[in-house]
Amino acid sequence: MFNTTNDTNGLRVALVTGGSGGIGRAVVKKLSDAGFAVAVQYAGNKAKADTLVAEIVEKGGKAVSVGGDVADEQAMKAIFDTVEKEFGGIDVVVNTAGIMLLSPIAEINLDDLDKMHRTNIRGTFVVSKQAARRVRKGGAIINFSTSITRTQFPNYGAYAASKAAVESMTLILARELRGKDITVNAVAPGPTATPLFLDGKDEKLIDHLAKSVPLERLGQPEDIAETVAFLAGPARWVNGQIIFTNGGMA
């Protein structure tokens, strides 16, 4: 259990966007197991978020679900207000919320491009803006990129562009928060067995992607959650970095 905190009751608090499914769900469970009170943000699936919260509370943890669009500044301000009122403050913000729509650049529907940019870029900006103002001393802001920014797979151009923007804002925010004792990093997963990744892929392609990793398997959401937990807790000397959690994929 992590024990670095500045509040009076010893409780560390994490807000996880996109926390009801895939990697976000694994992150929520990992941070809860590490002793955090966790706010599970959802955009549309309240039932999944509430079910996860109920599981955590049943095990003796502290959790709350909070709904709202990450790209809506007023909605996110209200979510931060709710979490602070519920738990007394916020120590860690994890931005797992994101969407991925694939297409060759020459054929992409620009509406799909705009959807990804709204969630992946604007959403990260909106959440980071609140986090930069409200995360407590000794805290962490953890954004999400993708290893595709380095592997350059075809059809991922628009998605990779949105995540490259996330990387840039992460590195700059880390430097803008000089003197506040708040770390800012991004996690860049490789191929990970989540519904977002598996959707639309046949078994042959999935096997090919798994074999492209030296460890010859897909990552699991829990693999990514381990890296997030490290950055959220003991990794106080890791700042302004993109952590490629991808099993060694080149």
The catalytic residue positions are 159
Of 78, 89, 7, 88, nearest in space to 41 by CA: 78
Of 27, 29, 22, nearest in space to 195 by CA: 22
What is the token pair recorded at 36?
A: 């955090």
Could you give the C-alpha distances from 104 to 114, 157, 209, in angstroms and in order? 15, 7, 18
Could you give the CA distance from residue 106 to residue 157 in angstroms, rounded to a whole number? 10
φ/ψ of 160, rounded to 5, equals: -60, -40
Q: What's the burial of 229, exposed, middle or buried (CB within 10 Å: 0-12/13-18/19+)?
A: buried
Of 78, 79, 93, nearest in space to 36 by CA: 93
CA 250 distance to own-chain centroid: 22
